[in-house]
Chains A and B, each alone.
Chain A
Amino acid sequence: MAVDSEIKKKAELAKHKKAAYGQDIDLDKFGIGRKDIGETKDLRELKEEDQKTLLNVGVVPSDEGRSGSFVLMDNSVVHEKQLGTGVEVMSLQKALKVHDWLQEYNWKAVKADADKYTARTFIEEADGYFIHALPGQKVKLPVQTCLMLKSQDVAQTVHNIIIIEEGAELEVITGCSTSKHVDEALHLGISEFYLKKNAKLTFTMIHNWAENIGVRPRTVVEMDEGAVYINNYIALKPVKTIQAYPTANMNGPNGVCVFNTVAIAHPGSEMDLGSKVMMNAPGCKAEIVSRTITTGGKMIARGLMVGAAKDVKGHLECKGLILSNKGIQIAIPELDARVPEVEMTHEAAVGKIAQDQIEYLMSRGLTEEEAVGIIVKGFLDVGIRGLPPALKEEIDATLEKVDLARM
């Protein structure tokens, strides 16, 4: 408890600490998220428009084909369900009461005083999901979670912990979205993931916010020997400002870490998206791939790969398309080698679609708009190859709805 009060003191001091990246958000403008939204045993009992919102981010209201399901609206846990064996799914605050040992993981990967967003989330003792894959369990069906903004002018604070025990495998699909009637609101999401020896986690996050929503996720993944972490991040809809820089610390040898990012910055959106991989142990491999588009917004694609042990290999790729005169694309790939025996490469390219590609398709009888649409979809598609087919279909459907021809 002494330690806890120590952290608390630090968090209090960090209440106004600006983040290293991204535009500063005045937190005082946003009230505390509602904690009184009632629980729903069956997501199909939710209003139709809320069900639709869930579906759009890959969350199935029937919970069919899922081994667990969790929904947070504002700061209220409205749904928590464990459907399969080998995995625990419940709210974090409940889990902290059930498992004494969980305290060891609570606010350990992410520092409470990292910036004012982590500080506020800590001070509010935010709830979120706790997902725990038990040792050796290769869980076949994914766990789904949804974090939804339901009220105007509030800051949703979320704290999630995922633990994948030794030799276990799990897939998590998480969708973040805004309820139809919410104009302005804020999402602060802290995620701490712990992958034990030879554990594997595939984490796919779909962001579906809205024009006036601010988003500040803070994610740190701690990986032991032979652990595999695959992160897919997809954000195709407008958002006001998002700044994320998830970090994977590869602490044990021979781990594998992949970050795939696919995002569109619409007019009025500012997206500062990065991924950081620290290869701290020998034989680790990492890949960061981002495919981003601006149709008028500002897109910053960062990537940092640190090779701090011998025989590590990494590749970093930031590719960006500018589909509007008003759009801005900034690619910042960084490689940092701290020992000689590393092999790290990067590739960054920003610009418009090559005219010869458009005309090639036009020579097959397609209109210019059709040609641009196909090339853009192909460009994004590369970033999300390897996704589960059902999820891929949903994303394709979303892409269909984004009017690329207009851009």
Chain B
Amino acid sequence: MLEIQDLSVEVGGREVLHDINISVMSGYTNVLFGPNGSGKSTLLMTIMGFSGYKVTKGRIIFNGEDITNKSVSERAQTGIGLMMQRPPNLVGVQLGNLVKIMSKGRVKAEDLAEDLNLTGFLTRDVNVGFSGGEIKRSELLQLAAQNPCFVMLDEPESGVDIVSIEKVGKKVHELIRGTSCAGKSGAVGKGALVITHTGQILDYVNADRGYVMCKGTVACTGNPRELLHEIRTKGYDECISCNIGKKTLVKVKEEGAN
């Protein structure tokens, strides 16, 4: 579904991602691990096509189509959606109105808000004065309304209180596992790429494959739960120092072509 080939990316004139190779098959959820500043969010922003993230080498292929030079809108319309880590404030744009506009009235914002403990937020300006956890839930609400075929989540659980985490987890599960989705790739099925530090979100999604990123590149690949265990017990150093440059840390099952 998504294939990233030898991707290098510059931000502010400095190369921050180097020779990334990642693929996500439809029906699969892949996870990105890595220390702060390793380039995980940059990768998701690049896949979404934000300006300021300049691809200097390599390609991004989505459902067989090269989208490396497509606009953000085109990527979204093909079925890619992103939950951002630090989305901008939209002063004067109410969350409920935005949901109405982006879903063209197909989705009931009130129901989604109730699912995510966000009733009362629909009349507030998007992200203005939202706490970290509220931003996460608002992002999820928008993503649920958008219902993309390929879901990218940037730390969906961070900052979310323990009462809301279950609702967030459930919503993420629905979002990734639902059978139908919007966008041109609707027929192909869903896929997801999720950034997590704590692994908490893995309780709610069946992650198939994990990548550990370090210093702007993929250091190792493997079973996400085993990778997480490794990171928890030994830190990131083990993975990076022993395996950087090697293909895989743990043998993963063969992936077929997209």
* Per-position 1/0 for B170-213, Cβ under 8 A of A: 00000000000010000000000000000000000000000000
Docked CA distance A152–B38 (Å): 69
* Per-position 1/0 for B28-70, Cβ under 8 A of A: 0000000000000000000011111000000000000000000
Quick check: which of B16-24, B87-95, B109-117, B237-245 contacts chain A, the rest being far away?
B87-95
Establish whether residues A357 and B90, one from each chain, have CB atoms under 8 Å apart when the complex forms: yes
A359-B50, A366-B101 known; A378-B77 Cβ under 8 A:
no
Establish whether residues B102 and A382, one from each chain, have CB atoms under 8 Å apart when the complex forms: no
The yes or no answer to A367 lying at the interface (CB within 8 A) is: yes
Establish whether residues B51 and A359, one from each chain, have CB atoms under 8 Å apart when the complex forms: yes
Establish whether residues B93 and A378, one from each chain, have CB atoms under 8 Å apart when the complex forms: yes
Establish whether residues A363 and B82, one from each chain, have CB atoms under 8 Å apart when the complex forms: yes
Establish whether residues B98 and A364, one from each chain, have CB atoms under 8 Å apart when the complex forms: yes
A375-B93, A382-B92 known; A365-B76 Cβ under 8 A:
yes
Distance in angstroms from A29 CB to nearest chain B CB is 41
Establish whether residues B76 and A355, one from each chain, have CB atoms under 8 Å apart when the complex forms: no
* B125: A residues at CB distance < 8 A: 378
Establish whether residues A360 and B84, one from each chain, have CB atoms under 8 Å apart when the complex forms: yes
The residue in chain B whose Cβ has the minimal distance to the Cβ of A379 is B92
The yes or no answer to B156 lying at the interface (CB within 8 A) is: no
Establish whether residues B102 and A363, one from each chain, have CB atoms under 8 Å apart when the complex forms: no
The yes or no answer to A368 lying at the interface (CB within 8 A) is: yes
A374-B93, A374-B98, A375-B93 known; A362-B88 Cβ under 8 A:
no
Docked CA distance A379–B89 (Å): 12
* A374: B residues at CB distance < 8 A: 90, 93, 98, 101
Establish whether residues B98 and A360, one from each chain, have CB atoms under 8 Å apart when the complex forms: no
* B82: A residues at CB distance < 8 A: 363
* A379: B residues at CB distance < 8 A: 91-92
Establish whether residues A362 and B93, one from each chain, have CB atoms under 8 Å apart when the complex forms: no
The yes or no answer to A356 lying at the interface (CB within 8 A) is: yes
Interface centre among A354, A364, A365 (most CB of B within 10 A): A365
Distance in angstroms from A93 CB to nearest chain B CB is 43
Distance in angstroms from A346 CB to nearest chain B CB is 18
A362-B71, A365-B76 known; A355-B51 Cβ under 8 A:
yes
Docked CA distance A26–B174 (Å): 69
Establish whether residues B91 and A359, one from each chain, have CB atoms under 8 Å apart when the complex forms: no
The yes or no answer to A380 lying at the interface (CB within 8 A) is: yes
Docked CA distance A367–B75 (Å): 11
The yes or no answer to B118 lying at the interface (CB within 8 A) is: no
A-side interface size class:
20 to 34
Establish whether residues B73 and A365, one from each chain, have CB atoms under 8 Å apart when the complex forms: yes
Q: Is the interface of B mostly helix, strand, loop or mixed?
A: mixed
Distance in angstroms from A67 CB to nearest chain B CB is 30
B-side interface size class:
20 to 34
The yes or no answer to B81 lying at the interface (CB within 8 A) is: yes
The yes or no answer to A44 lying at the interface (CB within 8 A) is: no
The yes or no answer to A352 lying at the interface (CB within 8 A) is: no
The residue in chain A whose Cβ has the minimal distance to the Cβ of B99 is A364
The residue in chain A whose Cβ has the minimal distance to the Cβ of B125 is A378
Docked CA distance A362–B74 (Å): 8
Docked CA distance A356–B75 (Å): 16
Docked CA distance A380–B92 (Å): 8
Docked CA distance A378–B125 (Å): 9
A359-B50, A366-B101, A366-B102 known; A382-B91 Cβ under 8 A:
yes
Docked CA distance A292–B155 (Å): 38
The yes or no answer to B231 lying at the interface (CB within 8 A) is: no
27 A-B contact pairs sorted by A residue (CB < 8 Å): A354-B88, A356-B50, A357-B88, A359-B50, A359-B51, A360-B88, A362-B73, A363-B48, A363-B75, A363-B81, A364-B102, A364-B142, A365-B73, A365-B182, A366-B73, A366-B76, A366-B101, A368-B73, A374-B90, A374-B98, A375-B90, A375-B92, A375-B93, A377-B92, A377-B93, A378-B90, A378-B91
Chain B positions near chain A (C-beta within 8 angstroms):
48-52, 71-73, 75-77, 81-82, 84, 87-93, 98, 101-102, 125, 142, 146, 182
Known: A362-B73, A377-B93. 7 other contacts (CB 8 A): A356-B50, A359-B49, A362-B71, A363-B49, A364-B81, A366-B102, A379-B92
